[in-house]
Structure 1
Amino acid sequence: MNYGSQSPREPPTQRGRSVLGAAAEKAAGGDLPLLRRRSEPGVRAAGLGDAWDKETTFSGQKEKEVTGVGTTEGNPWLVSPFPRQRVAFLGLFFISCLLLLMLIMDFRHWGASLPRDRQYERYLARVGELEATDTEDPNLNYGLVVDCGSSGSRIFVYFWPRHNGNPHDLLDIKQMRDRNSQPVVKKIKPGISAMADTPEHASDYLRPLLSFAAAHVPVKKHKETPLYILCTAGMRLLPEREEYRSAVANLADLTDHQWPADHRLATAGLDNTVVPHHKSVNSLIYVSPRRSRKQLAILADLVKDLPLEFDFLFSRSQAEVISGKQEGVYAWIGINFVLGRFDHVDESDAEAPQELAAGRRRTVGILDMGGASLQIAYEVPTSTSVLPPKQEEAAKILLAEFNLGCDVHHTEHVYRVYVTTFLGFGGNFARQRYEDLVLNETLHKNRLLGQKTGLSPDSPFLDPCLPVGLTDVVERNSQVLHVRGKGDWSTCGAMLSPLLALSNTSQASLNGIYQSPIDFNNSEFYGFSEFFYCTEDVLRIGGRYHGPTFAKAAQDYCGMAWSVLTQRFKNGLYSSHADEHRLKYQCFKSAWMYQVLHEGFHFPYDYPNLRTAQLVYDREVQWTLGAILYKTRFLPLRDLRQEGVRQAHSSWFRLSFVYNHYLFFACILVVLLAIILYLLRLRRIHHRQTRASAPLNLLWIEEVVPMIGVQVGP
C-alpha cells in the first residue's frame, strides 16, 4: 500500500458515503460485522465527535487511533446504550434477590427453630421457678392469699414480673421461694372457724401468718401487695342461725358489700350454692350472701383490725367465704395455668395438645377426691345440645363462664367450666357411710333372722372391703359391730354402688346431679389426692391410668393376707407416704375410686387420658394460685396504660413488639414496589430515547463512521 501518492482529501460528506458503502459491502461479504446504530451519547462518550472535528487524515498512527477508538473492542461503553442504567438495574436486582433470600431464610428459621425456642423457654421457666426469688428486683410484684380451711390456715406468697405488654397474655404468677429455694408458705392450726365464739380475736389468729409474709415481701412493696383472705369448708359449716338480712342489718357498720336484692337457692350435690339471676361474663364467682352472724363477725374483725397493723393492699371485698364451686373453679384455673394450657397454640409445636378452638389449647379437667368431699371440673363447649327445662336449669347452676383476660372485649380467655363439689363423697367420709350402711343392715338382719353376726369377735361380719384376716370394730353410739376382712374386691364394689345414689338418666352423675357431656375422645383429665394415693402409695402404678390394670392390681392387693401386707410394709416395698391407715383401707378406697370414676362419672374402663398426680412439674399446685390469677386479672391494664403514656411522650413512635415482624414485611414490600416502579420508568425512558434517536443515528452513520479496513486513494 503506497501512502505517499494518495489523492487529495475528499469532502467529509462524500467520504462518509463512500465509507458507508464500502463498510456495507464488506459486511455483506462476511469480512465485517454489521454496524449497529449507536446513540448519540455513546458517540460522545467514545470521543468520535472530537476525532472528526479535527479532520485528521487516514494515514499512519492517527488512522489506527481513530479506528481503535471507534471499534467495539476498543471501548466497552459502546456495548450498552445506557451503561449507568444497566449498572443500576443490576444493583437493584441484586438487592431484591438478597432481600427475598433473607425473607425466605427468616421464614425457615422461624418455622424450624421457634418450637425448640419455646420448649427451651418453658424449660428455663420451670427451672427458674425452683430458684430463690430475687427480692431486689424492682420490677417484681407480690400477692398474698390466705387459705382458711377447716383444719388450719395457710398463707401463700406469690410474685410476678411486669406484664409483657401483650393484652392476650396473662400475668406470669409464680410462688415465691426463700433463700433456700423453699416455697414461702406457713400453716397454723386450728382452723379460723375455731374463732366462732370469739370473733374479736380473728385478726390475732391471722397475725402470725401476715407477719411471716411481711418479712419476705420487700417493705417498699407492701402498699401495692394485694391480700386475699379466702375461707373454705370450715367457715361454710358454721351454723346459719339467722337470716342474712338481719345479720347484715346488725353489722352494716362493718361491711359495705352490696348483695344482689334477689337470689335463688339451688342445691348441687350436698353443697348449697346461691346463684344470681343475672348472667354475665365474670359473674360466675358467686358469693353466697347468706352468712351466719358468726361468719360476718369474723370477717368484720379482719377488715377492721388488719389494715391498722399491716400496709398490704386490703379491702373489705378481699375477705370472704367462698363456695365449693368457687374453690373448684380456682383449682381448675391453677392446674391449667401451670400446665400452660392458657397459652396460644403454635401450628408447628408438635407437643401442643389437640385444640378445642382455633388458636387455643385444649384444657384439662380435674378430679380431686379428698377425705370428705369429691370435686370434678372440666371445660365444656360453648354450644351444647338442647336440654329439657329441668336439666337446663341445673346446667345453668353448675356451669361457670368467666374471662381471665384483662380486657372484657378480648375473648381469647373466656372459658365455660362445669364444676361440682360432692360433700360426703370423699374417701374417709365414704368409709363412714359404708360402715353405717353395713351396721344398720347387719343389725336389722339379725333382728329379722335371729342371728348374731358381728356381735362378737367369734362371729364377725365378713367385710369384702378389708384385706383378708384384718379385724376391726365399728362403733356407733352404743352399737358395736365386729368385722373381719374378706378381701373380695368385686363384691366390695357391688356393695358400694348404692352409696353413689345414681339415677336412671344418662346425663346424671353422683347423687343424681346433672353432668355435662364429656367428649372422651377429645379430653384429658388429671386426678389428685385419693386418685393418686390409691394408685401410687401401695400399688405403685401412679401416673397414666389404665382401668383394667388398676382393677387387677387392686384385686390382687385385697386378696392378700393382712400379715403379708404388714410384712411387705416393713420391708419398704411401698411408698414412703404409705402408713398403716393406708394399708388398712386401701382395698376399700381403691374400690370406691373405681366405682366413682366409671359408674358415677361414666368414664370408659379403657379411658387413656387420665393421669394421676400429686405434683405438676415437681411442685404442688394449690387452688390459691387460681384464685390470685382470677383476682388480679385486671392488673395488666395498669402496665398497659403506663406503656401507652410512655410511648405518647416519646418523640419516636415505636410499635409494640407484637407487630414488629409485620412492619418488617411491610418495609420489604415497599422497597420492592419502589424498585419495580423505578425499573418501569427506566424502560419507558429508554424506549422514548430510542425512538427519538433513530433518525439521528442514521445521519451520524453516514457522516461520522470512519472507513474501517478500506484503503483511501488510488
Structure 2
Amino acid sequence: MDDPGEVQVRNPCHRPLFIFLTVVISLGIITMVSISVVQNKPLLQKYKYGIVLDAGSSHTSVFIYEWPAEKENNTGMVKQKHTCNVKGKGISSYSANPEMAGTSLQVCMEEAKQIIPAYRHRETPVYLGATAGMRLLKMENETASGKVLDSVAHSLQMYPFSYQGARIILGQEEGAFGWITVNYLSENLRKPTGTLGALDLGGASTQITFVPKHEIESDNNSINFRLYGNDYHLYTHSFLCYGKDQILKIFMAEKLRSTFVVNKTGPIEIKDPCFHPGYKVNKTFQSLFDTPCIEEVNTLPNKDLIHVGLGNWSMCQQSVRKVFNTTICKYSRCSFNGVFQPSVDGNFGAFSAFYFVMNYLNLTTDTLDNAKQKLTTYCSIPWQKIVENHPNIKEKYLAEYCFSGTYILTLLENGYNFTSKNWKDIQFIKKIGESDAGWTLGYMLNLTNMIPAEAPDTPLMPYGGYVTFMLLFSLLILFLFFMAYMYFCRSTRTTQKDII
C-alpha cells in the first residue's frame, strides 16, 4: 500500500510527444550535417587520355595527352602528360624487315599502360601518324610501306586501348597541326588576338603555316579549321625532301656531279665548304644517295668517296642557295620551286630541328646578321677542336651542324623570304609550358572534337538551392526546438500544480 504522503511525479521528458520531437530534431541535425558534407566535398576531376605516335623519318616518339572530360567550346583542353622516345630509327628504316617496326614500339606502349589509369584503357584512342620518312618510302616502294604500316597496326592493336588507325599524314596536315599546337599552347585560340605562324623542320621535310593577310592564290595551299568556336583559314605548304637530312643528300649529290667532271679516275674526293677544316671521312655511295629525293641516281659514279671539309661559310651559303629554285613563279609571289606563298607577316614559332640546331649553335636570339657572323666563325673551327670540345655528342651530328645552320638561315631568308627587319619575329621554341611544340598535340586537339564529352561531377544541389534548403531546414529545426521547449515548460508547470 502506497504512502498517501508521497506524490508520483511523471518526468515530462518521458512523454511520447517529447520523445518524438527529440528524435525528429536529432534526425534533422544529422540530415543537415550529411547534406553539408556531401555538398561541399571536393569534386573529383575526370580526365580522358589520348595517345599519338609521331613516326618521323629519323625516330618515333609516343605522346600521351590528358584533358578534362568536360570540353570547352567543343574542344578538349589537352595537355602533354608523358613522352617516350622509341629506341632506334624511324619506322621507314624497317622496310626490309617490317615486323621489327611494330616490335620497336613495345617498350613505350608498355609505359603508356602504366601511366594511363586501367579503367580508362578501353576508351583511350591511339593514333599513329607517319610523316615524311614514310612518304618517301611510299614513293619508292609502296608495298614495303604498306607492310610497315600493317606491322605497327598489328602491334598497337595488341594493347588494351582504342586503336584508331596508323596512316601516313599529308605534309599540309603536318604543317597545319603544328600551327594548332603553337597557337593552342600560346593560348591564342581562346583569345581575340593574332596567331603565330608555324615553322617546322624535320629530317625529310619542312613546313610553313600561317594566317595570311592576303588571298591564297593556290587551292593546294589552303586549309580550314574550326576551334573554340572560331574559323581559321590557313596558308600551308610542306616541302618534301627539304628536311635537313634529305637536303644534305641532295647537296652532296650536286657536289659529286661537279666533282666527277673534274676527276674521273680513282677515289672521288668531295671538297665541302660546309664541313669543318680537317674533316676527312670515307663514305659509301649507298649511304649518301639511297633516297628517292635524288633524281637519276644511276648517273652518279658508284665509287669510293672521301668527304673533305673546307670550313668556308661564305662558299657554303653560295652552294646551299643552289638547292632553292627562285627563278620560276606563276603567282604574284612565291617562296621557291614555283610554290605560291604570301608575305610572311606577324610572329612565327620555329620548332623541331629549327630549334635544336639553332640552340646548339647559340643563335636563337641573334639578329640575322649576327647569326651569319657567328656561323662564319663556327664553321672555320678545326674539326679536331670541335670533337674535343663536345665529347658527348655523336660525331655524325657534330659534323653536320655547320651545314644545318647554314641551311636554316638560307631556307628562312632565301626560301621563305624573311629579312633582317622581321627576323626578330621568329621565336625558336622547343616547348611551351610542359608540352613539346610539334604537330602531334594539334592532331590530338583537333581529334577531340570527335570524342564525346562526359557529364562532370556536380554538387548534390545548385548553390542557391543548397543555401535555401539549409535556411528553411534550420528554421524548421528551430521551430521544433521551440515546440519541444514549450511542451517541456507546460508539462513542468502542470506537474507542479499536481504536486500542490
Q: Does residue 174 in structure 1 map to residue 79 in structure 2? A: yes
How far apart, in 1, do the equivalents of 2:273 and 2:97 lie? 46
> Partner amino acid for 1:329?
A
Please list the CA deviations of residues 262-316 of structure 1 after superposition, one character each: whole Å capped at 9, or x if unmatched: xxxxxxxxxxxxxxxxxxxxxxxxxxxxxx5665666667778866x5443345x
Given candidates 211, 223, 226, the residue that maps to 1:379 is 211
Distance 2:130 2:143 in 1: 15
Match of 1:499 among 323, 331, 336: 323
1:312 paired residue among 161, 164, 186: 161
> Is structure 2 residue 374 aligned with structure 1 residue 557?
no
Q: How do residues 542-553 of structure 1 correspond to structure 2 at under 5 angstroms? A: 542=364, 544-553=365-374
Q: Deviations over 1:382-411 (max 9, x none)?
A: x517xxxxxx3xx21121111124xxxx4x
181, 185, 200: which one aligns with 2:84: 185
**Pair 1:428 & 2:256 matched:** no
Name which of 111, 114, 131 aligns with 1:215.
Answer: 114
Q: Report the 3-state secondary structure (helix = DSSP H, G, I; strand = E; otherwise coil) of the residue aligned with 2:444.
A: helix
Equivalent pair of 1:160/1:173 in contact (CA under 8 Å): yes
Amino acid at match of 1:591: T
Write out per-residue CA displacement over residues 132-167 of structure 1, whole angstroms, 9 at most, x where no aligned residue.
xxxx95511112223334455443221112336x53
The Cα of 1:584 is off from its aligned counterpart by 2.6
User: Which among 619, 624, 637 is matched to residue 440 of structure 2?
Assistant: 624
Instruction: Tell me which amino acid in the other structure corresponds to 1:527.
Output: A
SS in 2 for 1:511: coil
Query: Matches of 1:195 and 1:488 in 2, distance apart?
Result: 37
Richer in strand (by share): 2
In 1, the alpha carbon distance for the partners of 2:381 and 2:122 equals 60
Matches within 5 A, 1:158-169: 158-163=65-70, 166-167=72-73
Please state how far the C-alpha of 1:496 moved relative to its aligned partner: 1.9
Question: Secondary structure of the equivalent of 1:158?
Answer: strand
Give the match's secondary structure for 1:598.
helix
Matches within 5 A, 1:297-446: 310-315=159-164, 318-344=165-191, 360-381=192-213, 384=215, 392=217, 395-405=218-228, 410=229, 412=230, 414-446=231-263
Q: Which residue of 2 aligns with 1:509?
A: 335
> Which letter does structure 1 place at the counterpart of 2:206?
L
Separation in structure 2 between the aligned mates of residue 482 and residue 533 of structure 1, nearest angstrom: 28
Q: Would you say the 8 A contact 2:267–2:303 is kept in 1?
A: no
- 1:503–1:509 contact (8 Å) kept in structure 2: no
Q: 1:196 to 1:330 in 2, by over 3 A?
A: same
Tell me how far apart the structure 2 counterparts of residues 652 and 567 of structure 1 sit (CA, whole Å): 68
- Alpha carbons of 1:428 and 1:229: their partners in 2 closer, same or farther (altered >3 Å)? closer
**2:162 alignment partner AA:** L
Q: How does 1:103-182 map to 2 (within 5 A)?
A: 137=44, 139-163=46-70, 166-167=72-73, 170-176=75-81
Higher relative contact order (CA 8 A, sep 6+): 2
Measured at CA, do residues 153 and 211 of structure 1 come closer, stay the same or move farther in structure 2, by a change above 3 Å?
A: same
Q: Is the 8 A contact 1:240 1:293 kept in 2?
A: no
The residue identity in structure 2 corresponding to 1:415 is Y
**What is the distance in 2 between the residues matched to 1:417 and 1:562?**
43
**Residues 1:319 and 1:587: Cα distance change in structure 2 (over 3 Å):** closer
* Secondary structure of 1:402 counterpart: strand
Check conservation: 1:455, 1:480, Cα contact below 8 A: yes
Q: How do 1:191-210 and structure 2 match up within 5 A?
A: 191-193=90-92, 208-210=107-109
Contact 1:545 1:610 in 2 (8 A): no
1:500 partner SS: coil
Aligned to 2:490: none
The answer to whether the Cα contact below 8 Å between 1:455 and 1:481 also exists between their aligned partners in 2 is: yes
For structure 1, which segment, 395-404 or 199-208, has the greater mean C-alpha deviation from structure 2 after superposition? 199-208
Are the aligned partners of 2:88 and 2:104 in contact in 1 as well (CA < 8 Å)?
A: no
SS of 1:510's equivalent in the other structure is coil
Q: How far apart are residue 552 of structure 1 and its match?
A: 0.8
Question: Is 1:536 matched up with 2:352?
Answer: no
Q: Which residue of 2 aligns with 1:598?
A: 413
Number of matched pairs: 405
- The TM-score with structure 2 as length reference comes to 0.69
Does the residue aligned with 1:425 lie in a helix, a strand or coil?
A: coil
| Whole-angstrom distance in 1 between the partners of 2:386 and 2:102 | 48
CA shift digits 1:537-580 (9 cap, x unpaired):
1x3232x341001011111222333444445446xxxxx7x553
Q: Which range is displaced more, 622-631 or 372-381?
A: 372-381
Whether contact under 8 Å (1:142, 1:160) holds in the other structure is yes
Counterpart contact for 2:344–2:416, Cα < 8 Å: no
C-alpha distance in 1, partners of 2:464/2:102? Answer: 51
Structure 2 letter corresponding to 1:546: T
Q: Taking structure 1 as reference, are residues 483 and 214 closer, same or farther at Cα in structure 2, changes over 3 Å only? A: closer
> Any gaps of 5 or more consecutive residues in structure 2?
1-42, 286-300, 466-500
2:472 alignment counterpart: none
- Do the aligned partners of 1:439 and 1:481 also contact (CA within 8 Å) in 2? no
Whole-Å separation in 1 of the counterparts to 2:387 and 2:335: 37
The answer to whether the Cα contact below 8 Å between 2:224 and 2:232 also exists between their aligned partners in 1 is yes
C-alpha distance in structure 1 between counterparts of 2:116 and 2:103, whole Å? 20
Check conservation: 1:202, 1:302, Cα contact below 8 A: yes
Displacement of 1:619 in angstroms is 4.7
Inter-CA distance 293–376: structure 2 relative to 1 (3 Å threshold):
same
Q: Distance in 1 between matches of 2:347 and 2:304?
A: 45
Task: Please give the alpha-carbon distance, in whole angstroms, between the structure 1 residues aligned to 2:97 and 2:262.
Answer: 48
Which AA in structure 2 matches 1:399?
S
Counterpart in the other structure of 2:492: none
Matched with 1:489 is 313
Q: Using the alignment, how far apart are the partners of 1:362 and 1:213 within structure 2? A: 36
What is aligned with 2:274?
Answer: 465
Change (3 A) 1:294 1:137: farther
RMSD, matched Cα: 3.8
Shift of 1:596: 1.1
